[in-house]
Structure 1
Amino acid sequence: MTASPVEAQPVVAQIVQHLAPGGIETMALDIQRKARNPSNVHIISLEGTPSEAIEHWPRLQDMERVHFLTKPPGLSLSTVTKLTRLLRQLNVDVVHTHHVGPLIYGGIAAKLAGCGHVHTEHDAWHLNQQKRRWLVTACFHLLKPAVAADAELVAASIRQHIPLFTPSVVLNGIDTDKFQPADQAAARNKLNLPLDASIIGCAARFTEVKSHHLLIDAFSRLPDSAHLALAGGGELEHELRKLTSRLNLDQRVHFLGVIDDMPGFYHAIDIFCLASKKEGLPLSPLEAQACQRVVVMTDVGGCREAVDPQSGILIKAESTQALETALKTQLCSGINKEKQASARNFVVNHCNLERMISQYDDLYCGRPL
Structure 2
Amino acid sequence: MKTTDTLTGQTVIHVVQHLAPGGLESLALDLLAFSTPINQVMIVSLEGNKDQAIEKWPRLKPFANQILFLDKNPGVKLQTIMQLVKAFNQFKPDVVHTHHIGPLLYAGLAARLTSVPVRIHTEHDVWHLNNDKHVRLEKMALNVAKPQLVADANLVQDTLLSHFDYKNTSTIKNGVDCEKFRPGSMNVARAHFNLPQDKTLIGCAGRLETVKGHDLAIAALSYMPRSVHLAIAGNGSQLTQLKKMADQYDVSDRVTFLGLVDDMQRFYQALDLFCMPSRSEGFPLSPLEAQACNIRTAVTNVGASKETLCPKTGHLIRANDIHDMADVLFHMTCISVDANPRDFVLKHNNIRNMVKAYELLAVEAMPMGALA
TM-score (structure 1 length as normaliser)? 0.92
Q: 1:42 to 1:6 in 2, by over 3 A?
A: farther
In structure 2, distance between residues paired with 1:196 and 1:53: 39
Q: 1:7 to 1:156 in 2, by over 3 A?
A: closer
Task: Quote the residue 1:15 is aligned against.
Answer: 15
Q: 1:7 to 1:355 in 2, by over 3 A?
A: closer
1:107 maps to 2:105: no
Contact persistence 1:203–1:230 (CA under 8 A)? yes
Q: Which amino acid aligns with 1:259?
A: V
Task: Quote the residue 2:37 is aligned against.
Answer: 37
Q: Which amino acid aligns with 2:349?
A: C
In structure 2, distance between residues paired with 1:78 and 1:260: 36
Task: Quote the residue 1:363 is aligned against.
Answer: 361
1:180 maps to 2:178: no
In structure 2, distance between residues paired with 1:291 and 1:248: 31
Contact persistence 2:147–2:168 (CA under 8 A)? no
Aligned residue runs from structure 1 range 285-364, under 5 A: 285-334=287-336, 338-339=338-339, 341=340, 343-364=341-362
Task: Quote the residue 2:237 is aligned against.
Answer: 235
Contact persistence 1:274–1:298 (CA under 8 A)? yes
Q: 1:180 to 1:111 in 2, by over 3 A?
A: same
In structure 2, distance between residues paired with 1:89 and 1:145: 21
Task: Quote the residue 2:25 is aligned against.
Answer: 25
Give the number of the structure with larger relative contact order, counting CA–CA contacts within 8 Å between residues 6 or more apart: 2
**Shift in Å at residue 6 of structure 1?**
11
- Any idea what SS the aligned residue of 1:14 has? strand
Q: 1:33 to 1:130 in 2, by over 3 A?
A: same
Give 2:138's match in structure 1, choosing from 123, 136, 139: 136
Larger deviation, residues 23-32 vs 359-368: 359-368
Contact persistence 1:10–1:364 (CA under 8 A)? no
Contact persistence 1:95–1:110 (CA under 8 A)? yes
In structure 2, distance between residues paired with 1:90 and 1:7: 20
Q: Which runs of 4+ in 1 moved over 4 A?
A: 4-7
Contact persistence 1:158–1:165 (CA under 8 A)? no
- Count of aligned pairs between the two proteins: 361
In structure 2, distance between residues paired with 1:46 and 1:182: 38
The C-alpha deviation readout for 1:192-240, integer Å capped at 9, x for no partner, is 2122221111111122222221111112222112221111222222322
Q: 1:244 to 1:88 in 2, by over 3 A?
A: farther
- Any idea what SS the aligned residue of 1:365 has? helix
Q: Determine what percentage of the aligned residue pairs are the same residue.
A: 42
Q: Which amino acid aligns with 2:90?
A: Q
Q: Which amino acid aligns with 1:58?
A: P
Q: Which amino acid aligns with 2:47?
A: E
**Shift in Å at residue 36 of structure 1?**
0.9
In structure 1, distance between residues paired with 2:102 and 2:181: 30
In structure 2, distance between residues paired with 1:40 and 1:120: 19
In structure 2, distance between residues paired with 1:106 and 1:259: 33
Q: Which runs of 5+ in 2 are unaligned?
A: 367-372
Task: Quote the residue 2:212 is aligned against.
Answer: 210
**Shift in Å at residue 165 of structure 1?**
4.0
Aligned residue runs from structure 1 range 71-220, under 5 A: 71-115=72-116, 116-220=118-222
**Shift in Å at residue 296 of structure 1?**
0.7
In structure 2, distance between residues paired with 1:82 and 1:271: 47
Q: Which runs of 5+ in 1 are unaligned?
A: none
Aligned residue runs from structure 1 range 267-286, under 5 A: 267-286=269-288
Q: Which amino acid aligns with 1:353?
A: I
In structure 2, distance between residues paired with 1:105 and 1:361: 23
TM-score (structure 2 length as normaliser)? 0.91
Q: 1:248 to 1:57 in 2, by over 3 A?
A: farther
Contact persistence 2:177–2:351 (CA under 8 A)? yes
Q: 1:179 to 1:39 in 2, by over 3 A?
A: same
The C-alpha deviation readout for 1:163-215, integer Å capped at 9, x for no partner, is 33451010111121111111111112222212222111111112222222111
In structure 2, distance between residues paired with 1:57 and 1:270: 28
In structure 2, distance between residues paired with 1:366 and 1:212: 43
Contact persistence 2:9–2:39 (CA under 8 A)? no
Q: 1:5 to 1:255 in 2, by over 3 A?
A: farther
CA RMSD of aligned residues (A): 2.0
In structure 1, distance between residues paired with 2:365 and 2:109: 23
**Shift in Å at residue 87 of structure 1?**
2.3
1:59 maps to 2:59: yes
